[in-house]
Every structure is written in C-alpha cells, then in structure tokens.
Structure 1
Amino acid sequence: MSVHVHKDNSCFSLSSSGFFLLCSESRECEDGFKIINRICVDEDECVSLSLCGDNAQCFNIPGSYYCTCDKGFRPHTPNFTATTGQCEDINECFEKTFVCSGDMVCVNTIGSYNCSCHQGYYDSGRTDSPCADVDECLSSVCAVHSSCINTPGSFFCTCYPGFHKLENGTCEDINECNDPGICGTNAECINRPGSYRCKCHQGYSNYGNDPSKCIKMNCDEFKIEADMEEKLKHLLTQLRKSCESLSGPDGGRQAGEELLENLFTSTDELLLDGNITDGETLSQFLDTVENSMRLIGPQLKEPVTRMETHNTFAEVAVTRNQTPPTGSVILSTDSALFNTSWETVVGKSYPGFAFVALVSYKDLDSSSHQFHKISRTSQEQESRERSDVKKKHVTYQLNSKVATAVVSNPETKQLPEPVTLVFTHTEERAESGSVVYSCVFWNEAEGVWSGRGCERAWSNSTHTGCSCSHLSSFAVLMALYPVQDTFELVLITRVGLVLSLVCLFLCILTFRFCRSIQGTRNSIHLHLCVCLFIADLVFLCGISSTHNRVACAIVAGLLHFFFLSAFCWMLLEGVQLYRMVVLVFHTTLKHLYMYAVGYGVPLAIVIISAISYPRGYGTDRHCWLSLEFMWSFFAPVCIIVVLNSFVFVITVWKLAEKFSSLNPDLSNLRNIRGFTVTAVAQLCVLGGMWVFGCFLFQHEGTQVLLYLFTILNSLQGALIFIMHCLLSKPVREEYCKLISRICSHKEKKYSEFSTNLSSNSQRPLRSDQTTGESKI
C-alpha cells in the first residue's frame, strides 16, 4: 500500500520497506485521502449510504469509489456514473424476460417478478395444469331469488324463473297473471312468488299441472253399461272417481303410477279369465284402455314410465314445458314399436303438457281368435290383390300382439302425418303364395278388424312395419290362401291311390285265402291292409268334401281312426317278432288283445280328441285335422314309431346272438330275419310318407314335398304287396298253383268244346276221330 502525496514532495510515499516520510503540517493530501497522524490515508466514501442511492451497491477504491445497481435494477439515467447513483427497477413482465409455465401470468415485483394465476383461478400445484378455476358460487355472492352460475375465471347471477333483474342487481317477482290469456278462459290465474297457478273451473282440469291451461273433462267416457263384465265395471268405477276428482273445484290429483298399476291389474284379470269372448266386449275393453291412458298419462311424474305385468306391457312418455316439444318420439314394448313426432302428439293446441303411450296385450291375440271378423273393404282389397283365389277359401288369423297407441292430441281420426308401427310376429312365417300380411285396426263401430287408413310398409318372416293415418288398437293380420293343386299332382294322386287300392285288395285276398301262410303274423298283415284300404278309399272319395261341414268332419274322423289303426297293427307286428325271437318260436298273440290294441286304442284316441276339440276335424281346404289339432295324430304316430324302432333294434340284436350260437335253428332264424326286414321296410314306407304328409297338410310344403308325399302314398299299397306277397316263397307257390289251375281249367274247357265240335261236324268219318282228338 502506498500513500499519495503532493508533487512538491512535501510528503513522502510509504515505501515497501516500511519507511515513510512525514508530511509537514502545512501541506494537504489529495482528494480522497485524509491526514491521520501526519499521514495521508485513503478515505472510505462508502461509509455514507446516500452516495449511490437505493437499490445500488457502493464499492470503495483508493482515493474514490464506484456504484453498481442491484440485481433486477438498472441505472435510472444514461449518464449514470460511479458517483451519481439512482437505480430503477427492471420490469421483466414488460420486457418479456420472464419464464412462467402453462396459463400462469407474470406479476412484476421490486427487483424481480412472480408467476401467478389469473383472477378467478388458484394455484393447484399441478405441473400439467397449475391454475384451477375458483368456484365463486360456493360462497353467497348472489342476491335473493337468484342463482349463481360459475364460469371459467368468473361467475354471474341469474334470477329464478318467474323473476326479473332490477338495475340494482336484485330480482323481483313477475306477475304472470297480468297476461289475461296465460290461463285461458277456463281457469282463474293466481300469482305466486316466481310462478302462478291456473285454478280450473268446474268440469275442467289441468291434471295437477298448475301452470298449464285447463281442458274440459268428459267423465262420461267411463260410463258403466249393464252388459259389461263385473271386473270391467269395477275398473270403470275407479277411473270415473279419479276423473270427477280432477274436474272438481279443488282439482284433486291422484298418483298416476297408482292408477296405471290399478288399470293393468284389472286388465290382467280380464284377459286371464277369458272374459273377452265377443267383439262387443273387445270394443269395450279397448275403448276403456284408451280412455284410461288419456286420464292417467298426464298425471305420471317421470318423463318416461315403463310398466309390465302378466298380460300387459306399456311405455308412456310425458313432457311439461311452456313451449311445445318438437322432434321424434319412439316407444317400444316387448312386441311392438311406435314411432311418431311430438308435433303429431300435441296437435293444434298445447295446454302446457303432452303425452304419448303404447300398450301391448300379451294374451289378447289368442283370446280374439273367436271373433276374427274382417271388414268387407279389407276382404275386397285382398281379393283384388289375389284374384286367383276365391275369397271364401281364405282364412285369417292374427300374427302379432294387439297394441294400443294413444296421444294427448284429441283429434286422431286423421293425422297430419302418418305414424309408424312395427310388430313382431308371434309365428315366424315369410310371405309366400299362401301367406300375406296386412296391417289392421279394431273398428269399434263395426266390431271388425279393418285395414282402412293403414298400409303395410314392409314385411319379412319376423316383423311387419305399418304406416297408419289414425290412431287406435292395431295388429298384423295373416291371410292364409289355399295352395292350388296342379293338374299333374291331382292326376298322380288319383292314379296312385287307385293303384294302391288294387294292390291292397290283392293283399287282403291273399292273406285271407292263402292257407300256407295262415298264422298270427298273417292276421296282423290282413288287418293292416284292411285299415289302409279303407283309409285310402275314404281319402280318395272324401278328402275334398269341404262343402258339407258335418260330412267333412266324419271323413276326417275316419281317416284319423284308420291311419292310427294301421300304425297300431304295425306295432303289433313288431311285438310279435320280438316274442318269436326273444321268448319262444311260434308264439302267438291272442286275437282279443290284438283287436284291443289295433282298433280299441285308435278309437279311444279319436273319441277323446273329438270330445275335447270337435272343431279340429275338417279344414277349409281338406277334410283332415286342423293345424292346431294335428298333434292328436302325429303324437301317437311318433310314439308308435319310436316303440317299434326300439323293438326292432332288440329283435335284430337277439337274432345276431342266436345266429352266433352253437346249434342255431337256421331255417326258423332265416324266416324270422326275413320277417324283420320286411317289417322294418314297411315301417319306413308308412312312417316316411307321413313325414312329408305333415308338410302337406300344414300348407307349407313346397311342390317337391307334395310330389314326394303323393308318390310314397301311391307306392304304399304296391310296396306292401311286393314285400309280403311277391317276395314270399309260399305265396308265390300258391300264386303259381292258382294260375296253373286257372290255365288248366281253361284248357280243359277249350279241349272239351273242340272235341264236341269235331264229333258233331265229322260224325260220318268215324275212322278219323282218334286222329282228330290227338291233333287237338
């Protein structure tokens, strides 16, 4: 360190060796130094804090000092010097030298800056989204009768419905009753805080919807008639009380859900007990359901209500708003779908509420089979579409559940736009030459199913779509047209039956008079052929006698009996073969037992069937069993075929064991084996014929199946004749003997006739008589 002195050497510098010279007292030090003990020493100017000012640092140097601004500051003026301080803050946010993440903003501070969220947000501490919205509505920030609605970073207050905002931000009640038409002419308007009430006049109701207009109530729709069912009367009594309560001075209201449950409980009882037996009762029932839904629908609380009971399924949609609803509305049940628009549901006037309902009945289709009346218009239209079929031959049946569609619009006889209904078929059948679907509704005025105003949009084997211009109770009607037999098919049938009758007649003569084959098995074959002969003869002569209902039923009963009897005799043949193989050879069945099974069992089945369902004998197309009654024939046939198959399997098994034994009786075993083969072939012929016959009589057979049935039927008698007569050696021998006797008898007659003629004409030539006889 050195000490500066004046140039005139009045003071000496301090040497490095520690020597220094003293300054004379009459001399002064340079600026920035001061004399201490006659020595010039550096003065520390930074002791004074005001030299550099705020936000700056002072640094002393020998003989002087200099100033530097703190971090985040800079010189205030461009002529900032070491001796003139004054630093100013640097605004990092303005100069964009800050670093803030996400949606945070920069906030300048003295000498630095901070990153903070916008107003209305708070720091969530998350790295991906550090700022989260502050829900100002958690605190009471809005006035009375208003609600707070939070928005990102802010909020706003809105008045409750029925209030309006004043200039000072408070909410004031709106007096809706100042509008004279708000409740219409059928009610008195009563203002309420934030709302109003339409107090209906006597005979009017808004179904408990206070702000809605009042409509006239017609409780006479629930009028009870003397000929109604008791359960229907009870239901109408409940509904009338509810209607009168709604239209009373107090405008009472019941729970719509409770009324709906009571309605379906009553309808279940009506349908379950089979009380709907005629068209008039059906009209009363459907009309009651429709009027009930008009009463109950507006009282339901939920926007959509679904209810399912044992016999009913319903879906109801309700809307309540000051403005009419728009758009489409779709309802569905287990078997139907209803598609319309809210404009159609509302109609021309909108009281403030609207509803639409779809109700389907699970058992009404089966109950209504007894009164399938079709309107004349529908029949004429179908006859024009199918001019090749006589109208009297067409049969109709419902192939869907009945569904009722109801809307709040009272004018539904002619809708501005058609509605769509899609029905699920109860029986899957595609349209064909014999099946045609049509959309119908129940015409209560005429008590018939009618197709007026309903068109079939599309159809397949499982569903049918309908487009209707009015509302009511709808269903899908299936028209069954008779299949016209071709000339070739009729010719084959008749020729084949004649051939079968001739062969069966020859079999009967053979089994009756051929002595070499007499026995139990031959007796079974005889009765089998007799039953088939009579059945084929009745079939040929009376199968088409549908013009006389009684005669047709008798023909069907005879066919039922003799065809069943033929199968029973085949079962007896199987049992006889089983006894011959398993028990002992040449064993026989008692004739009394055979007659009891062969004729008694079929007779009992026919008697029971005729008593239980007499209408099952005879159809509009054939004198045979009806479709729903076919089980009375095919069920016993299936049982017999199964039993016979089981017996034949055991018989063949036992035959194989006997053939493999040490000392088999080969002659008897071969005979029984032949008997078994013919019996199995016989079962296949008759059984196979009725497999195809099942399709024939159900009107569902194709031409191929019809021809197969006809061919098998014609070959039936011929095959039995071939198997049991021509292929039997004893029978062939008897045929040969019979033919030889016939031929020899004819030859003898011819010989006698020729001899007598020669004798008479050549009597004078006696010498040539012997020669002439020998020549002959």
Structure 2
Amino acid sequence: MGGPHGGPFLLFHGDPHLLTKVSIPTACALWCPPNSSCVNGTACRCAPGFISFSGEIFTDPLESCDDINECGPPSPVDCGGSASCQNTEGGYYCTCSPGYEPVSGPAVFQNESENTCRDKDECSSGEHRCHNSTICVNTVGSYTCHCRQGWVPRPGFQDKQMITVCEEIFFPAWTAPPGIKSQRLSAFFERVQKMSRDFKPATAKKSMQDLVRSVDDLLKNSGDLESLGQSSKHVTATHLLSGLEKTLRTLAKAIPKGSFTYRSDDDTELSVVVQEQGKGNVTVGQSHARILLDWAVAAAAGESGPSVVGILSSQNMKKLLANASLKLDLEKLKETYESPVRGAKVTLLSAVSSVFLSNPNTEKLDSNVSFAFTLHEQPELKPRQELICAFWKNDGNGNGSWATSGCWKMGSGNGSITCQCSHLSSFAILMAHYDVEDPKLALITKVGLALSLVCLLLCILTFLLVRPIQGSRTTVHLHLCICLFVGSAIFLAGIENEGGEVGTRCRLVAVLLHYCFLAAFCWMSLEGVELYFLVVRVFQGQGLRKLWLCLIGYGVPLIIVGISAGAYSKGYGREKFCWLNFEGGFLWSFVGPVTFIVLGNAIIFVITVWKLTQKFSEINPDIKKLKKVRVLTITAIAQLFVLGCTWVFGLLLFDPESWVLSYIFSILNCLQGFFLFVLYCLLNKKVREEYRKWACMVAGNRYSEFATTTSASGSSHNQTQGCPSDTGTLGGIPSTGPARG
C-alpha cells in the first residue's frame, strides 16, 4: 500500500498470480455530492442510475447527481404488453399490470423477453367485490358487475360497474281508471292483479303474452263497455294505451337480449328487440306496422343496461277510439286549402300501434322516427280528403284525442303509408274529410243562388216584355240582371275544381266569372249614375244612350279581363276553386274595380237618400212622420242591393274565419236577384198591372176551355171577376176578343 505521501501502490485483482498495476490519484476531490465518486482532484462521476446536468462526469462543485427515470422519456424501458415499468432509486423493475399475473417466472423482471403476464380472472379466483344482486363478468385486465336477468340497477346506480347494486323487476301497479263503471273492465284488472302477484322475472315473456291476450279478450268481448258514453270510451282507451306502454316496457327489460315476436289469435302483434346500447338503426314490427329508429333514441338518459324497443299493433283498439275527435293543424291546412277548416270526419284505416322504449321521455326525440303502416282498407280519396298520420294524445286529464302535430306523411303506395314523427305515442293512419267550408253556409249559398236565378229570370222576362216601363233605366236593370244571372249560373255549375288540377275548363270558368261579375258591377255603377241623374240632377231625359251604356257595361270589364289574362294567365284557377289565384296580388284585378265601384255607389247612395228626405217633405209636408220614415227606409234598403253596396261586407271580410261577416255577406249577396225582383217588379205598380193582365189572360184561356165543354148544359155567360173585358191589348199583346179572366 502507498505510504503517507500517497504514492503508487500495487493491487492484486482476481487471480493472485496476475498482478495488475492501478494508478490511484494522489489527491481526490472532497466536494463530490451523494450518489457520485471521485475521479480526481477536480472532477466527480455520477453512480450508475444517476446523472448530473453536465453529464456523467462534472467539475462544478455545485452540481448534483439525480436519479435517472428509466420508465420515462426519452427512451423508456419496454416491459412488454400487460406490464408496467416501476422506477426505483438508481434503477427500475417491471411488473404485471393490475388484473394480470405472470404465468411463469418471477413477478419482477427487467425487460419484455422476461414478460409472461396474462389476464387474471378475478371472478373465478374470488378477488372481485360484486354485490350479491349482480353477476361478476371478467374483462381484460379487470371485471364488471352485471345485474342478474330480471333485475335492474337501483336508483342512483348504473349497470356494469364494480359498485353496481340491483333490484328485482316487479310487475307495475295498474288499476282501473277512476269513474268508469264496467264489469268487463273490472274483470280485466282483476286478471292484471293476479298476473302481478304471480309474476316472476324468469317468465316475463309469458306474462307479456298473457297480457296481450287479456287485452284482446276485453276489446273483442267488450260487453258493457259498448254502453259507455263516447267520452268514457276515450278515457278507457287512454288508460289502456298508457298502461300497456308502461307495463310492456318494464316486462321487456326482464327478457334475455335478442328479438321477441308474438301474434295473438285476434291478430294483435307484439314485437320487441332487446340489445346492448350502441349506434345505428333498428327496425321493429311485423305486418301491421314497422318502426325504424336510432338506437341512441331508445336508451334512457343515464341508462347503462340493454335498451328496449317494442311495438304493439291492435285492430281491436279501434272500437274504443271510434268517433274520436281530431285536433287539426289549422294553420297548415289553411295554407293547403286556402280556406278555413272547421273540423274533420275521420276514419281509422290501420291498426292502432303503440310504441315503447327504454327511454320513457319521448315527447321530444333527438332524431325523427319513421313508421310504415299497412292499410287494411284501400280508400278512394275524394276532394278535400287525404290520408294523415295521427297519434293519440293524452290531454293530461285522463281523456285523449287524435292529433297530428309533430307527425307528417312521407309517402304512400302498395297498400302502405310512411310517416315520420318527432315524438312517440300510440299511432294510426286516419283518413280525414275536412269541412273546409261551413256546410250551413254552403247550403245558404246554393239555395240563395238558386232562388236568385229564378228571380233574375223573371226580371229579365219582365224587362223585355213589359212596354210601359221601357227606358234607359230599364235597360240598365235588364243588363244587370243578365250579368248576375249568367255569373250565378256559372258559379253554381263550375266553381268547384273537383280534379284538383288547374286545367283549361277551370281557367275558362275563372275567366267567365271574372268577366260576368265585373260586368255586373259596371252595370251597378251605371245604376248609380242613372239614380244620380234622376234624383239629384233631376234630368227629364232618358239618361245615357243605350250604345254608351253597353260600351261601358260590357267594354270596361272586357278590357280589365283582357289585360289581366295577358299579363298573367296562370292567375286564373286554383286547386280547389275555379277562381282568381291569390298569388302575386292577382286578386286585385277584381277587388280593385269592385272597391272603386262600391265606394262610388256608396257616396251616391248617401246623396240620394239625403235628397229623397228633402223631396218627401217638399212634396207633401203633411205626410205622417212614421209613414215618411217607412217609405224612405224601404227605398234606401232597396237601393243598397241595386247599387251593390252590400258588397261592403265582403270588402271588410279581412279574416275568412269571421263567421258573422261571412254569413251576412253570403245571405245578402246570394239573394241579390230576389231583392231586385221585389224592387223592380213586385213593388212597381205598372209591372203589377201587367202581371194582373197576364194572369187574367191565362186564367181566361183556361176558363174558355172549361166553358166550351159545358156550353151544352145551358151556360151562357161566364166571366172572371177583376179582369178587364174590353178589347184592346194585354201587356202590349193585341186582343181580338173579350178578355176573359
């Protein structure tokens, strides 16, 4: 060994026969930090597994040797699959990951080549902590606790967790609807209570089949259910549908995963699919109805177990839903039919299908659900009839009705119809016959126009044949009646567009109606002019010449219709009615001139009534006030119809659903021909005298025939009282002998 001066010394290493000479520095750095060794008097070296900031060897007395993390970057140790690296002070080791154990070899190793880790089955080795209400299911590297068949997680727990706690499925409580007295219904719910007491999760499929058969028996042999009022039937139907949905949803959770189908002897179909939650679509159903939806819709929020999708289709349920009301989407129908819709008569054309999911909150779904319904009746749709997709809506008070909001028809064909809905309930396909127009109002229109046609025809014959009343005013009356007669006849015969397509016939009818009614209003304006000349200006002449009257009465509407048709010919004809189209303001080609004429005549009406009031006082100031008011009132009312001022109600009819104005407008204007006949014929003394002469002539001819047959019996003189006997003319018709009658 070296002496005190630190000189070189010899060191035997290994074999004593081999002598190795090692040089040891004569001086060592005394400042080397922990986990390092001295290199010389100015440098230190970090021990294996440690390193300094400057590297393995460093000269700075302030540096330290820190542990190297062999398990971290930049070059971590590869322990192999299912294993993890564990860093130690100055070293490392590899062990199997939790849930794995070595098949052979030590539990601690250094690299991948020594790795024998394999999955450990905690469920078979008794190392799990699953609750006794669950079943342990081994997973790769771990395990989960699943609810047993027929069990569901308790509130606050989720399935397939290590802490899952489950409870057994019970038959839901279901009792009879309150206030409904029926022995058949009571017997049904007694059977339901027995099924509830005897229920076992292992027999869930059988319980579902028994429940379907029980409902079939109740509806097929309804007994005293038939005597219930309509409202009670609908309450019962609502209770049954909601109860079935809840009960079938619960029982379906107790059946094994997969699909389940049952068809009863009464053709009621039940289809259920149970599977793990996932993505993608699923189709469920049979011959009555099928449903297509996303699996994500079926799962309830926070649910971790299998999801359920089911559909129950019943033909017998239609018995309880007969004559149920339908809540219409009035705004949509108003756009479709261009007219207010007051109600609908509905007919059930498909089985009633009730859909149930694991998710009980189906009022607003994240994605739409598609339905395909089989139509067991093939209806022949008439005008204002269509197939609609409807659902049974619970009103919250136990009752219900059909509704269409949130559902729409996608298409139809081959005996089926496809619908989409944004929610779920009990669905069916209805054929609805909408009451687009009030039937009472339609009857008033048809009867009033028919009466007006008869009266207008009598007016036309009177104005043509009665000579004492001929003049310019009679000419105006005649042509006004002709225009109203032709327009009313065309309206009755062709206003409705039965085919739904706007063809040549419908366009022609619309053009003719446009022209005839515009011409009628032009003649009404001429009535106002003649009345103004007669009462205000007190002209003694015959008014405007006949040529000018015809040019204005028939020429002006011809120009308006010609310009309208040339500018926009498609404006004539609509899907439901052969009249002017509302698009692009085309209706103003009629409303504009009519408004101008009606307002002008209204001014003339006010002036003439005022003038007449003055003239009555001037002509006979002693006339009684009551009689004066009566005469003036009758005259004013008569002129309202002559001048078309009653059309003001139509111009004020901004809202088509204002039924009061609609009735007033229809009654007054459908009877315009009748009022013209009363005013110009029955209240005219000259016309009444001519009518009396005509009546006497007709009665005289009949009496003459009778007198001829009885002359042999000695009768010599027969004369009807009240009829003239002098020779002359009868209503302008020469008479060659004594007038009989």
| Range class of TM-score, shorter chain | 0.3 to 0.5
Q: Which of the two has higher C-alpha Rg? A: 1
Q: Which has the higher contact order (CA 8 A, sep 6+)?
A: 2
Question: Please, what TM-score do these two structures have when normalized by structure 2?
Answer: 0.38
